[in-house]
């Protein structure tokens, strides 16, 4: 927004609907010492740049014309000289001429300025009203567990030379749950890809277990694993899975020392099958590598590991959940 006699560059770029870098280059050609969007220039220089993109049209000069009314020609080929001359000033736009039979008349229509759409002043944060928003978006719903149509309730744009960001509130058209959506676009990226983050974080297609009947420690670790996986914190999720396996063994009073033996003791207690125990030992190895060598499996493998963990909880605590 203009402050006194100066105008900030990002406000000028918004008004012109031009890229900030281009506006800065234009100002430098005019001799302005500017480098970042928050710099200010004089109002006169800003108006000069505006005129390059939206030149002001000068009012057309008025001119006078003569309208001569002629009467009909008689049969004897004699003509009647003009009896009257009317001199009318008009504006050179698009006059409306009305013709009637037998005489010529000219109706002068005043030139009314065409009403232009009102543009809301903008700054680095531009609020967009609901009627200008795209009404529907495809968003992964944390309640419906799949991509669903969402209404865009509100959006705020932030723009700099390096990046553009949108902060949005969206609502599922099915379950009506609200989510916060952040869209980031970096101007210096050649692939022009957008980075989208949703809050609260979610895992597409995965529903959390009902943990009310789980032991408190087990439930807390499970929640943290789910949160880490939702935010793609793969190292923390891998270590958390190993921690959860050991917590289940300790909660079932396994007295052996190593985690491998603790897992095998669940088989002796008839809580696990040998096949499932073998799967848990693989997850134990993943956790050891993440903790000691900072190596993690792929996100796809981690999702499969989460399936195994949830199956473990269902098998061990089946009467409670």
Buried/exposed 210-223: b ≥16 CB within 10 Å, e otherwise: ebeebeeebbebbe
Q: Say how far apart CA 260 and CA 287 lie, in whole Å.
A: 12
Among residues 161, 195, 145, the alpha carbon closest in space to that of 34 is found at: 161
Q: Tell me the pTM.
A: 0.48
Q: Say how far apart CA 272 and CA 312 lie, in whole Å.
A: 8
Structure tokens at 241: 């899975």
Q: Say how far apart CA 241 and CA 208 lie, in whole Å.
A: 15
Structural domain spans, the chain: 6-53, 63-104, 125-199, 216-316
Q: Is the peptide bond before 47 cis (omega within 30 degrees of 0)?
A: no
Q: Say how far apart CA 267 and CA 273 lie, in whole Å.
A: 6
Q: Say how far apart CA 24 and CA 40 lie, in whole Å.
A: 11
Q: How does pLDDT run along the chain (321 residues), one tens digit per residue?
A: 444 578 888 788 888 878 888 888 888 888 887 777 777 888 888 888 888 877 766 555 666 566 666 555 444 444 444 444 444 444 444 444 444 444 444 444 344 444 444 343 433 334 443 444 457 788 888 777 778 888 888 888 887 777 788 888 999 888 888 888 888 877 665 555 778 888 777 776 667 777 787 899 999 999 899 888 888 899 999 999 999 999 999 998 888 889 999 999 988 888 888 999 999 999 999 999 999 998 989 988 998 999 999 888 888 886 554
Class of domain 216-316 as given by CATH? mainly alpha
Among residues 101, 104, 66, the alpha carbon closest in space to that of 87 is found at: 66
């Amino acid at each position: 927004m203009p402050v006194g006699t100066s105008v900030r560059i990002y406000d000028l770029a918004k008004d012109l609907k031009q890229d900030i870098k281009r506006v800065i280059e234009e100002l430098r050609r005019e001799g302005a010492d500017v480098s970042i969007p928050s710099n200010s220039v004089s109002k006169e220089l800003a108006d000069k740049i505006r005129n390059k993109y939206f030149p002001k049209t000068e009012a057309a000069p008025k001119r006078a014309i003569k309208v001569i009314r002629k009467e009909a020609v008689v049969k004897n080929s004699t003509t009647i000289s003009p009896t009257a001359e009317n001199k009318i000033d008009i504006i050179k736009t698009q006059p409306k001429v009305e013709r009637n039979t037998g005489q010529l008349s000219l109706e002068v229509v005043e030139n009314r300025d065409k009403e232009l759409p009102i543009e809301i002043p903008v700054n680095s944060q531009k609020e967009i009203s609901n009627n200008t928003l795209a009404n529907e978006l495809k968003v992964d719903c944390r309640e419906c567990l799949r991509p669903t149509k969402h209404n865009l309730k509100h959006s705020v744009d932030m723009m700099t030379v390096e990046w553009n960001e949108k902060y949005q509130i969206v609502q599922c058209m099915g379950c009506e749950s609200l989510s916060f959506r952040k869209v980031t676009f970096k101007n210096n990226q050649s692939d022009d890809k957008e980075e989208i983050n949703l809050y609260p974080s979610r895992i597409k297609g995965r529903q959390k277990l009902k943990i009310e009947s789980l032991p408190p420690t087990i439930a807390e670790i499970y929640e943290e694993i789910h949160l880490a996986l939702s935010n793609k914190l793969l190292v923390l999720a891998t270590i958390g899975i190993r921690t959860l396996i050991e917590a289940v063994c300790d909660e079932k009073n396994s007295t052996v020392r190593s985690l491998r033996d603790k897992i095998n003791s669940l088989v002796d207690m008839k809580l696990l099958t040998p096949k499932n125990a073998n799967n848990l030992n693989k997850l134990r190895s993943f956790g050891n590598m993440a903790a000691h060598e900072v190596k993690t499996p792929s996100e796809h493998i981690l999702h499969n590991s989460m399936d195994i963990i949830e199956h473990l909880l269902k098998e061990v605590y089946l009467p409670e959940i």
